[in-house]
């Protein structure tokens, strides 16, 4: 039981941990223009994160119906 609790705590902290790149979380990810989920944020063609490729607006569940 202690192992399961430790594993759960580790996963929860990993899901909430911030990264240096602008990205969504495990429960609110960002998506590529084709709608696929991107778990890591990708930079634009110039290597900058000012206008990243993956955005929350591209996800099907964030699009206006």
* Interval 23-58: pLDDT, tens: 667 778 888 889 888 877 767 778 877 777 888 888
Strand ranges in 1-65 using DSSP code E only, listed in sequence order: 30-31, 37-38
The parent domain of residue 51 ranges over 20-65
| Inter-residue contact 5 to 24 (CB < 8 Å) | no
Q: How far apart are CA 65 and CA 54, in angstroms?
A: 20
Asked whether residue 27 is assigned to any structural domain, the reply reads yes
Question: What is the pLDDT, as a whole number, of residue 22?
Answer: 52
| The model's pTM | 0.51
On whether residue 14 sits in a domain, the answer given is: no
Query: Is the Cβ–Cβ distance between 37 and 59 less than 8 Å?
Result: yes
pLDDT at 17 over 60: no
In this structure, what token pair is assigned to residue 18?
């911030």
What sign does the CA torsion over 4, 17, 58, 41 have? negative
Tally of structural domains, the chain: 1
Residue 48 lies in a domain: yes
Whether residue 2 is contained in a domain is answered as no
């Amino acid at each position: 039981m202690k192992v399961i609790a430790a594993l759960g705590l580790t996963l929860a902290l990993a899901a909430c941990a911030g990264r240096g790149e602008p990205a969504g979380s495990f429960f609110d990810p960002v998506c590529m223009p084709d709608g696929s989920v991107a778990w890591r944020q990708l930079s634009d063609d110039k290597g900058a994160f000012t206008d990243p490729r993956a955005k929350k607006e591209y996800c099907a569940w964030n699009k206006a119906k």
